[in-house]
Amino acid sequence: MKFKIFYKKFLVIFFVDMLLLAAAMIGAHLIRFEFSIPIHFAQSLKSLLPWVLLVKLCCFYMLNLYRGMWRYTSIVDLLNIIKASTVSTLLIISFILFKSSFIGYSRSVFLIDWFLTILFIAGFRLCVRLFFERFSKERPSPSDFLSIFRILSKRKKDRKNLIIIGAGNCGENIFREIHNNTTLRYNIVGFLDDSKNKIGRTIHGVPVLGRIDDITVLIKKGKADEALIAIPSARGQQMRRIVELCKSSDIPFKTIPGYGELIDGKVTTNAIREVAYRDLLGRDMIKLDEKQIGAYLQGQNVLVTGAGGSIGSELCRQICRFKPMSILLFERAESPLYEIELELKKNFLDLNVVPILADIQDKLQIKKVFKKYKPQTVFHAAAYKHVPMLELQPWKALENNILGTANLIEISSKFNIERFVFVSTDKAVRPTNIMGASKRVAEMLVNCHNKNGLSKARFIIVRFGNVVGSVGSVVPLFKKQIERGGPVTVTHPDVTRYFMTIPEASQLILQAGAMGKGGEIYLLDMGTTIKISDMARDLIRLSGFEPDIDIKIEYIGLRPGEKLYEELITEGENIVPTSHEKIMVLKGMECNLQILNGQIDELAILAANQEEKKIKAKLKEIIPEYSPAH
């Protein structure tokens, strides 16, 4: 069946080309003799034409002009047409020269014929491509000319007029993809940009209508139905302004995420999404030293604990870009593990993705994994992070965050890994809750192990603030409350937090792994703190409502273990500059590993007996700056 269809299409194409080649030769004679061909030249044309068609069609066939798909006609096809036309013309000229030395033939006819052949053949193929680009997947039969008008009228009804905010490379990329992808039902009516040099000019024939501030007027001028914010490098303040302008213009709007969120760096229509709070954070993206990261990840066996979590899964995606030999997904929750496994196997076909349903609290299980797969780099992102939940059950924080980390460090050292990167939190700084205290003890354990020289591995700590969009983040809670119509509950009007995006957190971890020599604590330049009440208001506005009018904000008081503000540096830690402008490094304090191990053994006994008060007292002994909140 496929052969019959191919054969039928080939005959149609072959017949069309025959007509076009004949038209080119006849047209060349008409042009040469000013549309009055002398009789003897007309007779020579009549005898020559069949041979011209035979030679040209054979050359076209031999040079693969009938293997390409016309709907994808490109510069390569044009070059092939020029090549085939030139070869066939030279063969014809050589034959005539050898046979009759051009007696009875006009030399200029063959030059004109060469030009018309290229023009007709390339022009027809280009028309076919334009037709397929314009008229979606509906392909009318050659005899059904009225269907073209039917499709045109349908397209105008189905398509939405889109205005693109941003006339840079990203906007141009999006334009080309929408233009080339016939399944995308958009008609781009214009661009907006604040650059004076771009206003009034055109991109692929579509005008840059004016400045972004004039969006209300320009939307009416262009009759736009939707807006797309195509500025991946936009800072938070700029993004807020654009969002407010779109809202005041009463037009639906979407955005392209920042470059930090685009794993492969490519901007496509698949990346288009609703504007989210992370777009308003207002920091430049982290510029990764990809050569430095690739040098320690490429060709390695990499293990990621907590691989199904918010940070862990994004970390896995980023790691896979650097072509490790295998990535070991260490996760105890089966559903998230299955999801990240499927995603990575789909997007990274040549990579060995190994899902491991396991728990860091099970030392024997960890040992078997290390013995079988021999990881060289370990990213430890598995942890309990929910502050109020761990205040109610502090022994769980000890079992997972401290004892689990101790298990992983011990076995990593025995198997002589190269790097161990521990993911920590700003709540470990002068902690007021069990979660922060448990992470601080884990930091001390990582730091001590490195400084005592018990292993050749580099033990590195990465510390950062709250992560927007993670499972434990306040953002999902606020969104659910907004969906229910409010109220949105904030603990305190003055509570502030540092925030970063999931890609930022993952990139910081990778960069720290590349930079760390062992014993350092790395943290991102987090900028200024953000008021949670301001965040709540921004999210309400992004959802199309007005705070305190459509949706109320209620203050419910600090929860167990919470404090008004977070810090990134604790007493005794000194900031040391790094080669990366966005990353700071702290030198950890000296410690005695033997004493710390003894204290952790005591914590293990208290955790097994679930003795809450004694757990807090022991943590206070280990961490003098720990002050449990009441």
- Using alpha carbons, select from 524, 497, 498, 519 the residue that is nearest to residue 509: 524
Q: List the end-to-end C-alpha distance of the chain, in Å, as a whole number.
A: 78
Q: Are 478 and 499 in contact (CB under 8 A)?
A: no
Rounded-to-integer distance, Cα 537 and Cα 416, Å: 50
Cα diameter, the chain: 116
Which residues have CB under 8 Å from 108's CB, separation 6+? 32
How many Cβ atoms from other residues are within 10 Å of residue 193's Cβ? 23
Rounded-to-integer distance, Cα 378 and Cα 404, Å: 14
Could you list the active site residues?
A: 427
Q: Are 186 and 158 in contact (CB under 8 A)?
A: no
Q: Which helix (H) or strand (E) holds 5?
A: helix 2-32
Phi, psi of 326 (to 5 degrees): -150, 155
Phi, psi of 625 (to 5 degrees): -80, -5
Reduced DSSP (H G I as helix, E B as strand, rest coil) percent helix, strand, coil of the chain, to 5: 50, 15, 35
The per-residue DSSP string of 493-504 comes to: TT-EE-EEEHHH
* Total residue count of the chain as it appears in this document: 630
Rounded-to-integer distance, Cα 445 and Cα 459, Å: 10
- Using alpha carbons, select from 218, 214, 242, 222 the residue that is nearest to residue 230: 242
Rounded-to-integer distance, Cα 416 and Cα 303, Å: 14
Residue 273, helix vs strand vs coil: strand
Across the chain, how many H-helices and E-strands are there?
Answer: 21, 21
- Distance from the Cα of residue 506 to its chain's centroid: 13
* DSSP secondary structure code for residue 324 in this structure: -
- Cα angle 314, 317, 320 (rounded to 5 degrees) comes to 150
